[in-house]
């Protein structure tokens, strides 16, 4: 009798997996109707987040972020270069997100996938447009030499929501960045006291991104979608807020139309998330 029962149980669990494969939409819908997700999370819960800083000694600053399964490493290297003619007192922040075939079977070898380029550009725009940290603080000498921060963000394991994880890693690395004191000598060479990096980088406001996935049937707003939810979702909304309660950036790329009420919920959940993550970064 018991073998029959256990056989039945085995068949049931196998049929679950088969159903998940052939009807992924329906599978997810059945969970959402009960306000829960296939991995057991409630609709507004973000995955467990871990931040470690300083693991890469060759980089000026580094951080590794684990957002559920998505793992991202950010390494910042500082170099000196001449400033832009039109902005002689500002340095640069150059983010570069790498999504290699290593992190997921979705990405194939070749030119950087669209997702990587979109994420890099998003981060670049975020730091250039909102006044998150003054690029003037990267200036060594007006018109002659500035710091350029190359932030390379490498994704190791892709399980959805690369944007949140990348920004978190970059912010964590920036908060621990220390630059050496540099000055331009008479011979036009920049001398930096590398052995003693003292200038701590001041981040006035810490930006935290929260990404949500919108479903129409049933109407649901999922926080922090994983890879499966991302592919099935109708629309993704990203909200970047800072610790002072200000919205830095809202991104909704015009797929499906959503309610203003839904947007309000995004902001509320985003605010909660920002507070949690800001404490986590400070503790890291």
Residue numbers at the binding site for another protein (CB under 8 A): 55-59, 62, 69, 71, 73, 75-77, 79, 96, 100-105, 108-109, 150, 152, 154, 156-159
Could you give phi then psi for residue 134, rounded to 5 degrees?
Answer: -70, 120
State the minimum distance, in angstroms, from the CB of residue 58 to another protein: 5
Give the residue with the Cβ less far from another protein, 36 or 80: 80
- For 15, list phi and psi in degrees, rounded to 5: -70, -30
For the CB of residue 267, give the shortest distance to another protein in the complex, in Å: 31
- In the bound state with another protein, the residue whose beta carbon lies nearer, of 58 and 253, is 58
Q: Which is nearer to another protein, 80 or 232 (CB)?
A: 80
Nearest by Cα to 53 from 38, 66, 44: 66
| In the complex, least distance from residue 264 CB atom to another protein, rounded to whole angstroms | 34
Beta strands 92-99; 145-157: pairing state: parallel
The residue among 47 and 249 lying less far from another protein, judged by its C-beta, is 47
Kindly state the smallest distance separating residue 265's Cβ from another protein, in Å.
29
Query: Buried (b) or exposed (e) across 202-235, using 16+ Cβ within 10 A?
Result: ebebbbbbbbbbbbeeeebbbbbbbbbbbebbeb
Number of other residues whose CB lies within 10 A of the CB of residue 125? 13
Nearer to another protein, 75 or 91 (CB): 75
Closest approach of another protein to the CB of residue 1, in Å: 23
Cα 193 to Cα 188: distance, rounded to the nearest angstrom = 16
């Amino acid at each position: 009798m018991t073998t029959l029962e256990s056989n039945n149980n085995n068949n049931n669990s196998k049929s679950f997996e088969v159903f998940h494969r052939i009807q992924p939409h329906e599978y997810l819908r059945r969970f959402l109707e009960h306000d829960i997700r296939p991995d057991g999370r409630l609709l507004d819960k973000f995955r467990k987040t871990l931040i470690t800083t300083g693991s890469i000694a060759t980089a000026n600053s580094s951080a590794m972020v684990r957002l559920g399964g998505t793992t991202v490493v950010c390494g910042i290297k500082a170099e000196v270069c001449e400033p832009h003619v039109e902005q002689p007192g500002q340095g640069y922040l150059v983010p570069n997100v790498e999504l290699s075939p290593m992190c997921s079977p979705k990405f194939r070898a070749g030119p950087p996938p669209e997702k990587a380029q979109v994420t890099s550009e998003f981060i670049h725009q975020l730091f250039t447009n909102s006044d998150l940290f003054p690029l003037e603080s990267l200036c060594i000498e007006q018109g002659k030499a500035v710091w350029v921060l190359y932030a390379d963000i490498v994704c190791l394991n892709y399980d959805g929501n690369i944007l949140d994880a990348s920004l978190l890693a970059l912010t964590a690395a920036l908060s621990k960045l220390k630059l050496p004191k540099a000055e331009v000598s008479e011979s036009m060479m920049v001398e930096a006291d590398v052995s003693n990096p003292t200038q701590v980088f001041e981040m006035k406001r810490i930006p935290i991104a929260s990404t949500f996935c919108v479903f129409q049937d049933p109407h649901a707003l999922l926080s922090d979608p994983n890879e499966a939810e991302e592919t099935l979702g109708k629309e993704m909304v990203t909200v970047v807020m800072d610790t002072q309660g200000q919205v830095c950036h809202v991104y909704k790329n015009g797929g499906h139309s959503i309610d203003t009420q839904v947007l309000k919920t995004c902001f509320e959940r985003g605010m909660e998330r920002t507070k949690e993550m800001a404490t986590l970064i400070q503790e890291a």
